[in-house]
């Protein structure tokens, strides 16, 4: 079958393209900007790429057009596809029907931590010899690819709540029909498509309705928004006695079935316990994870991954061994290198909660060393200014913060961030590089850590800063 993918260079669609190619299909695709690293992955896989949306690429007609959710009406290829009545579907629907059908699907959903938790879970299953397939919105270092077909039985998927396509406004994850579902957390996000938290909870409820009664839902014991979703109390039509969940639930964290004891304040060493008693009346526990990661958010992610792996039969001891060998995910607190005593990190954080937890994890790791945060508020929610009141509190653990005011923002960062003291707003990328470098070098040889947070390419800021520091080292 010849499959042509519109919007192929996004993480999800590019990963789906590679699955389709590995499954024996002829795959081609286009995007407004065909750019690395995804373009390089696709070309290496033998996938034909076209820059732009000229409808000529749909002649002769492919057997199927798969439409990415970034595409909308008035796109030339979309209009041609509809006019010529070409067969089309969405990426999530095609994934669900062709790769997930008949599999034991382990889906990881939530506002934060989906990519990292999915990567941990896939690695635990791999370590246990279960050969999972997976599609993840990032690149786990243990695999060095974002997607693979895997074996016959298990498939781990990052389950995104963003909408499916211009013709299907349901969340992507309603197409996945998981048997094991992790709900990491739930906050308001994606203000460009959801009007409030209840809108998002309704989409989560749609997914929950598809999970069988022998499946499993895993969530933090303390997350009241998830609790309200499972009980139905988010629903304006809620009435006592109405059933909202049909699936067993296990909870993690304090008060939950799965718990941890920190053996290091930064979360780099912890011990896991399953408090549910076995047939002998005993609890399983005392297994240590000693790994490269840090931050309490990553400990919480790990606990959810352990619980999900246990649902498919992986023992607690083996899951902890696997996580001790977990190498992290690209762009998730990834150390890009060091120049003199300056370390540079790349992280995907783009929501105040994610920014705060990432900074907290780094602070616990480096102690009193200087931390410089460089933040590009790039997500649609951030650009709309929905979370602007929370920005200052989110960076409490940083010694100095640089905020990038891009041209795409509908509001001024100066409304929330006063450019004095430890906060500085900069609207020129080269000036941002120079000012960040000066701040990092001002430590006088003492260790300093530059944490760059953006969910995009940030104009190559990461590597441009590294090159600038090297050129001005010493």
pLDDT in tens, 361-418: 888 888 889 999 898 887 766 666 666 777 888 888 899 999 888 877 777 777 777 6
Share of residues in the chain with pLDDT > 90 (%): 53
Check pLDDT > 70 for residue 162: yes
**CATH class, range 2-90:** alpha beta
Q: Are 312 and 180 in contact (CB under 8 A)?
A: yes
Check pLDDT > 70 for residue 204: yes
CATH number of 102-324: 3.40.1190.10
DSSP type of residue 414: G
Q: Are 314 and 153 in contact (CB under 8 A)?
A: no
Domain ranges of the chain: 2-90, 102-324, 334-471
Between 233 and 120, the higher pLDDT residue: 120
Check pLDDT > 80 for residue 278: no
Predicted confidence (pLDDT) per residue in 89-124, tens digit: 999 999 999 999 999 999 999 988 899 999 999 999
The pLDDT of residue 84 is 97
Q: Which of 8-22, 160-174, 226-240, 436-450 has the lowest mean pLDDT?
A: 226-240
Q: What is the mean pLDDT of residues 45-55?
A: 94
d(CA 80, CA 78): 5
Q: How confident is the model at residue 453 (pLDDT cuts 50, 70, 90)?
A: confident
The pLDDT of residue 412 is 76
Structure tokens at 220: 């933090």
Check pLDDT > 70 for residue 3: yes
Helix, coil or strand: residue 471: helix
Alpha helices in 232-326 (DSSP H): 296-311, 316-324
d(CA 168, CA 92): 10
Share of residues in the chain with pLDDT > 70 (%): 94
Check pLDDT > 90 for residue 215: yes
CATH topology of 102-324 equal to that of 334-471?
Answer: no
The pLDDT of residue 179 is 97
Q: How confident is the model at residue 458 (pLDDT cuts 50, 70, 90)?
A: confident
Check pLDDT > 70 for residue 279: no
d(CA 466, CA 212): 50
**CATH class, range 334-471:** alpha beta
Strands (E), 71-112: 88-90, 104-109
Q: What is the mean pLDDT of residues 251-258?
A: 93
Q: Which of 58-72, 149-163, 256-270, 458-472 has the lowest mean pLDDT?
A: 458-472
- For 114-144, b/e burial (b = at least 16 CB within 10 A) is bbbbbbbbbbbbbbbebebbbbbbbbbbbbe
d(CA 41, CA 35): 10
Q: What is the mean pLDDT of residues 166-182?
A: 96
């Amino acid at each position: 079958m010849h499959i042509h993918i519109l919007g192929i260079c996004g993480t999800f669609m590019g990963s789906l393209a590679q699955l389709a190619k590995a499954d024996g299909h002829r795959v081609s695709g286009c995007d407004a900007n065909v750019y690395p690293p995804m373009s390089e992955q696709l070309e290496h896989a033998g996938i034909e790429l076209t820059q732009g949306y000229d409808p000529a690429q749909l002649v002769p007609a492919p057997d199927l057009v798969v439409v990415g959710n970034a595409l909308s009406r008035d796109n030339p290829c979309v209009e041609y596809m509809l006019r010529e009545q070409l067969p089309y579907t969405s990426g999530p629907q095609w994934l669900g029907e062709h790769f997930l059908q008949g599999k034991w699907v382990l889906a990881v959903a939530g506002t934060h931590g989906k990519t990292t938790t999915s990567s941990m879970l896939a690695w635990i299953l791999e370590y246990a010899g279960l050969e999972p397939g997976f599609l993840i919105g990032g690149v786990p270092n243990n695999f060095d690819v974002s997607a693979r077909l895997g074996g016959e039985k298990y498939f781990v998927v990052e389950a995104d709540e963003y909408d499916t396509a211009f013709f299907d406004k349901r969340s992507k994850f309603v197409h996945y029909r998981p048997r094991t579902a992790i709900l990491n957390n739930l906050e308001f996000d994606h203000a460009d498509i959801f009007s409030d938290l209840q809108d998002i909870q309704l989409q989560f409820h749609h997914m929950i309705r598809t999970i069988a009664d022998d499946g499993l839902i895993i969530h933090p014991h303390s997350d009241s928004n998830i609790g309200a979703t499972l009980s139905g109390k988010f629903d304006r039509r809620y009435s006592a006695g109405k059933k909202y969940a049909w699936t067993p639930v296990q909870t993690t964290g304090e008060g939950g079935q799965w718990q941890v004891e920190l053996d290091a304040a930064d979360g780099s060493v912890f011990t896991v316990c399953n408090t549910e008693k076995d047939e002998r009346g005993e609890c399983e526990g005392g297994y240590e994870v000693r790994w490269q990661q840090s931050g309490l958010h990553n400990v919480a992610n790990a606990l959810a991954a352990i619980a999900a792996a246990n649902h498919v039969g992986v023992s607690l001891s083996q899951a902890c061994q696997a996580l001790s060998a977990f190498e992290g995910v690209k762009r998730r607190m990834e150390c890009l290198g060091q120049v003199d005593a300056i370390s540079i990190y790349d992280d995907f954080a783009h929501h105040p909660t994610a920014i705060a937890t990432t900074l907290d994890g780094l602070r616990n790791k480096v102690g009193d060393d200087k931390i410089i945060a460089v933040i590009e508020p790039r997500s649609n929610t951030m650009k709309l200014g929905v979370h602007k009141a929370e920005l200052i509190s989110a960076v409490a653990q940083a010694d100095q913060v640089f905020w990038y005011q891009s041209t795409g923002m509908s509001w001024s960062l100066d409304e929330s961030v006063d450019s004095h003291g430890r906060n500085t707003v900069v609207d020129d990328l080269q000036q941002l590089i120079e000012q960040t470098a000066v701040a990092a070098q001002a430590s006088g040889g003492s260790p300093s850590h530059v944490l760059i947070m953006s969910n995009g390419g940030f104009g190559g800021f990461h590597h441009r800063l590294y090159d600038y520091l090297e050129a001005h080292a010493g």
